[in-house]
Amino acid sequence: MAKTAAEKCSFKTYLTSLGGFPISSRGIAAILFLCLFLILDVREAFSISEAEKTFLQMYFKDEELVVISATRSLKSITRVAENVEVVTKEDIELMNAHSVAEALYNVLGVQVAEFVGPGSEGLVMIHGSGFQRVAIFLDGVPLQTPSNTFPTGDLPVQMIEKIEVIKGPASSAWGSSFGGVVNIITKSVAPGDHAGGTGYLSVGERSTSDARAEIYGRRNNIGVYLYGGTLNSSGIVRNNAFWQNDLFSKVSLSSGAGATIDFSLFYHKGNKVDYDELPWGYDDYFAVTTENILGRVSLKTPLSDAVDLHASAWAQSARHFGYLNTVSTGERLFSSSNQFDKYGFSGNLTYRAGIHSLVVGADMLDGRFKGDDFPPGAHKQRKYAFYANDTISWKDFSVTPGLRYDHMNRGGEIMSPSIGVTYLASKNMLLKASVSRGFFEPALDSFLATNAIFIANPDLGPEKIVSYQVGAEANMWDAFRVKLVLFRHDVRDLIAEKSLDDPLQPDLHTMVNAGKMRTYGGEVGVRTKACHGFILEGGVSYEQQKNLNFSDQRQFDTSNSYGINAAISYNDGKGLRAILKSHYLWWNLPSFWEAGYDGVIADFNIIKELIKKKEMAFDIFLTGHNIFNGKSFNNSFYPNPSRWLEAGVRCKF
């Protein structure tokens, strides 16, 4: 639980301050602990051994050989103890995804809630964690709203280089990330890249269209990337219409000494409408208009042959306006307006040693929130953190200890240690294990938003989790790859609803820290090596949750759920590519959600290259969505659409 004001006064007096943020004695201890890492001898730069390359290149693309999200520094995926999945720009193109939600829909162990296709919310859960407990980042910038959610359906995909997904707590690197992390990495123009661009247009049923273009180039030490797109539909499901416009730009300045400064700007504006016309028995419609602006500047520079500095500063401004009107008269029945403004800073030093790869860094966030969903006035969210991790590699064995200290103005302070181990047992077998402590910072709504049925709890504390994971990856007979992960999460101070037992207001409730819970399960995935152009993939994920000291209600709605994924892709090497992917999810939700489980959601995409010249390629494609008319949705307000088709063209130059 968070400390009361009296308890804070009796706690050891704050010793000093940094940039206006108080640092407690626990924070000082964390900083001193991190400084101990700095005594390491630094000699070698980052590289991947030949044994690692042999293991990786059989089934991984070049973009998947290294990831940044596990330790916030480039690292070979064979040295990553966490359960990490990578979705590349080639994957996104092959599946013809329009948004990040679609790109994540078929990732094993990931559930995308409130998703009805392009334009829908797309709230991400990992292994049934609940969508508030997954942290979403764009180039390392946190995107969560005060409710700890973010609609990944609002994020376009053309500007994305890859998406890295960490399944399970990643608090020792990222802070509040109880269920996992989704880090979206955007495209850049690096030295040596040629000038070019892409034009894309698709048209589908129900007046659905997606038009986008990107252009990029480099001259001397300046690289420029520009993207613009518009996505629209009159209603992929009945009476659900939307439009959104997106812009993204990045300017990269490079020096001969290896330093790079990036300036990026992302702008999104959209509108969604859900309405029921009179013949259906209702006379109202609800609309939400959103506007989001995110600016970021980052610096990457080597300080020596073995020391790199990465620092970034960012600012974000978001507006949400919702209203409920009658269809027959246009009368305004309800409206709500919210404004979120925040800025932040992140920085780290990476040291490469003979057997060490050390990362030491800090994060800071300052936010102001106001709106109709909160009490009058502006409300502050301030937090800072210090973290360190060291990947110690010796031959085919590596161990990664990590530690992070977070201080939150509303959630208190918390330490998040972790340790991971990997062992490349042979050229065909990788073993891994990890133990970590994670946490979930309560949403500001729980601290502040009192209304007719809910009473805020300013003393609410963060949920805490200890996670154990083991896994193995193996190349079997040079024919297919198998990946197995088992996990157990022990949760305490679980945030749960509690009725206030008011006879005059029986629905009145609040949120409290109550109870313990255990989640355990696993996933197994299989991927074949390419054979005559075909690749087969499949997997099963399962999670079960058990309340340990209370039985009044289950706190995670997706308790004891499982998912099955399968896909077959084809590339003839002469311009024809295709994929058929399917997804089944047993949500196992309470009956009042009226969820749908009937059938498999299967999509296909066929791409045919018509023109291929040195500087230009011209494709046509056909995509079929939910071709078997399956039903898979987490509640009846967001049913998935029945079968629908789209076709389009893509030109690369």
d(CA 500, CA 479): 59
Q: For residue 257, how many C-alpha atoms fall within 13 Å in the half-sphere facing its CB?
A: 10
- The model's pLDDT over 386-399, given as tens digits with 9 standing for 90+, comes to 999 999 999 899 99
pLDDT at 33 over 70: no
Task: Kindly tell me the sign of the dihedral angle through the C-alpha atoms of 227, 232, 236, 238.
Answer: positive
Q: Is the distance from CB of 260 to CB of 254 less than 8 angstroms?
A: yes
Beta bridge partners of 631: none
pLDDT at res. 26: 54
pLDDT at 197: 95
* pLDDT-based confidence at residue 44 (cuts at 50, 70, 90): very low
Query: d(Cα 437, Cα 414) in Å, to the nearest integer?
Result: 10
Give the residue-averaged pLDDT of 48-59: 57
Distances in whole angstroms, Cα of residue 554 to Cα of each of 134, 497, 518, 597, 600: 19, 10, 11, 20, 27
Q: Which residue has the higher pLDDT, 12 or 338?
A: 338
Q: Is the pLDDT of residue 435 over 60?
A: yes
Q: Quick one: average pLDDT of 33-44?
A: 42
- What are φ and ψ of residue 63, in 5° steps? -70, -20
Spatial neighbors of 296 by CB under 8 A, at least 6 apart, are: 139, 141, 262, 263, 264, 265, 312, 313, 314
pLDDT confidence of 368, banded at 50, 70, 90? very high
pLDDT band, very low/low/confident/very high, at 200 (cuts 50, 70, 90): very high
Q: Are 579 and 103 in contact (CB under 8 A)?
A: no
Q: Say what the pLDDT of residue 50 is.
A: 59
Q: How far apart are CA 416 and CA 439, in angstroms?
A: 8
Above 90 in pLDDT, residue 1?
Answer: no
* C-alpha separations of 602 from 115, 581, 585, 594 in Å: 15, 6, 12, 22
Instruction: Give 136-164 pLDDT, tens digit per residue.
Output: 999 999 998 888 889 999 999 999 999 99
User: What's the Rg (C-alpha) of the chain?
Assistant: 25
Helices and strands (H, E) in the chain, number of each type: 7, 36
Q: How far apart are CA 77 and CA 85, in angstroms?
A: 10
- Cβ(388)–Cβ(419) below 8 Å: no
Q: Where are the domains of the chain?
A: 5-198+209-652
Q: For residue 419, how many other CB atoms are within 10 A of its CB?
A: 16
Query: What was the pLDDT predicted at 45?
Result: 39
Q: For residue 552, is pLDDT > 70?
A: no
- pLDDT tens track for 502-539: 777 777 888 888 888 889 999 999 999 999 999 999 99
Instruction: Give the confidence band of 427 by pLDDT, cuts at 50, 70, 90.
Output: confident
Average pLDDT over residues 565-590: 93
pLDDT digit string (tens) for 246-260?
999 999 999 878 899
Residues with Cβ within 8 Å of residue 34, at least 6 apart in sequence: 360, 386, 387, 388, 403
**Residue 100: pLDDT band with limits 50, 70, 90:** very high
pLDDT at 52: 57
Distance CA 24, CA 7 (A): 14
Q: What percent of the chain has pLDDT over 90?
A: 55
Average pLDDT, the chain: 86
Average of pLDDT values for 369-374?
83
What stretches of 493-636 show up as alpha helix (H) in DSSP?
Answer: none
The CA distance from 395 to 113, in Å, is 43
* Cα–Cα distance for residue pair 88/105, rounded to 1 Å: 14
Q: Which two tokens stand for residue 543?
A: 């999670």
Q: Residue 563: is its pLDDT beyond 90?
A: yes
Answer whether residue 22 shows pLDDT above 60.
no
Task: Please give the DSSP secondary-structure letter assigned to residue 612.
Answer: E
- Residue 354 in contact with residue 41, Cβ under 8 Å? yes
Percent of the chain with pLDDT over 70: 87
436: tokens are 């970590």
- CA 651 to chain CA centroid, Å, is 29
Q: What integer pLDDT is reported at residue 131 of this predicted model?
A: 83
Token match 């077959």: residue? 568
Answer whether 158's CB lies under 8 Å from 152's CB.
no
- Interacting residues of 366 by C-beta distance below 8 A, sequence separation 6+: 342, 343, 344, 380, 381, 382
Q: Which amino acid is at 446?
A: S
DSSP letters of 66-92?
EESTTTTS-EEGGG--SEEEEEEHHHH
What contacts 627, CB < 8 A, 6 or more positions away? 602, 603, 604, 643
Of the candidates 70, 64, 65, the residue with the CA atom closest to the CA atom of residue 87: 64
Instruction: Give the lowest-confidence range in 39-43, 215-219, 235-239, 485-489.
Output: 39-43
The residue with tokens 């819970």 is 517
277-284 average pLDDT score: 58
Q: Give the pLDDT of residue 251.
A: 96
Residues in contact with 60: Cβ distance below 8 Å, sequence separation at least 6, in sequence order: 77
Residue bearing the bigger pLDDT, 274 or 223? 223
What is the residue type of 355? Answer: I
Q: How far is CA 522 from CA 154, 527, 548, 563, 574, in A?
A: 30, 17, 20, 11, 39
Q: How far apart are the two ends of the chain, measured CA to CA in Å? A: 57
For the cut 80, the answer to whether the pLDDT of residue 280 exceeds it is no
Instruction: Provide the pLDDT for residue 581.
Output: 97
Question: Can you say whether residue 355 is alpha, beta or left, with left for phi > 0 and alpha for psi between -120 and 50 degrees?
Answer: alpha
Residues facing 253 on adjacent strands: 222, 261
SS3 270: strand
- Cα distance between residue 545 and residue 472, in whole Å: 23
pLDDT digits (tens, 9 = 90+) for 452-465: 788 888 888 999 99
SS3 label, residue 172: helix
Q: Which CATH class is domain 5-198+209-652?
A: mainly beta
How far is 300 from 308, CA to CA, in rounded Å?
7
